[in-house]
Structure 1
Amino acid sequence: MAPPTACSPNACSLRVLVVEDDPDVLEAALEALELLGHWATGVRSAEGALTRFLEGAFDVLMVDVGLPALSGLELAGKLQSRCKLPVIFATGRKAPDGPLHSAVWLCKPFSLEQLRDALRQASQLVELKLVDNPVAPAPRVAASGA
């Protein structure tokens, strides 16, 4: 799927960077996002995500909380220090108490409808100006071990 041109989140598909260390879960998430009409690229590590993030603009970060080496929470903090993009934390863990500023908690396993709702919430964060709205499209890259 070709990356969308820059536009508002409601007018076209979102550009989603998926970070998941389990290759089967990563592939399923990428397929689900494409089924929902979004453009997605995936990496299997926080280090790979840091590199990939610098190569292209994304509307949403979807990250597993329990990544090895650098947790999804730590990764989100590092990336949000560069660009205030919305984050979907996809995890089997219970959501933390208190507000999740510029973040959505998505419990695994999740349905297509739950993913759609999480993306809708992430889009609303951009619309409400709680996060930045990057404008340059990111190039398509398949899931990698990076």
Structure 2
Amino acid sequence: MDNHLSVLNSLMEFCDPLEVTKDQLRDYLGQFLDQPKTYAYHLCGLKRFYRDFLGCPDLVDSFKFPSIIPRPKFIPSKTELRECASWLDQKDLALFLTLASSGARRSEVLTLAVKDVDLDRRMFTPSDSQGFSICMDDDLFRTKMKKLVLS
């Protein structure tokens, strides 16, 4: 809902949303033609407002969503991760290994305390979690983390 309100606020800076024409909407959306995701975001808000809320589908039905080509995600190999890990100092290495082996969010890892980590069971429980634990899946992680925690 907040997203749609953001689009309407942006439109109000461009023109009066209650007296808008199809050409004005075309000009408004034209600002975002080189940014397909942003264009789709604004078009979604406009369609929700004019078609669903005001019952004026004729204003927005001719506008089509752009095709968005997803970028493939690069996932480094274990060898590449180990090479990166070899460049880090101990504190950064602990953070890197935790993120790489758990898939946890940065905020979850950065709020961890030593009491939250169980190296023998290869898991940790973020303090703000609601009883869930996150598993760490890597022998390199366990070996290095034991050295880091015990030193």
**TM-score, shorter chain, exceeding 0.5:** no
Structure possessing the higher relative contact order (Cα contacts under 8 Å, 6 or more residues apart): 1
Given the two structures, how large is their TM-score scaled by the length of structure 2?
A: 0.22
Indicate the structure with greater strand content.
1
- The structure with the larger Rg is 2
Indicate the structure with greater helix content.
2
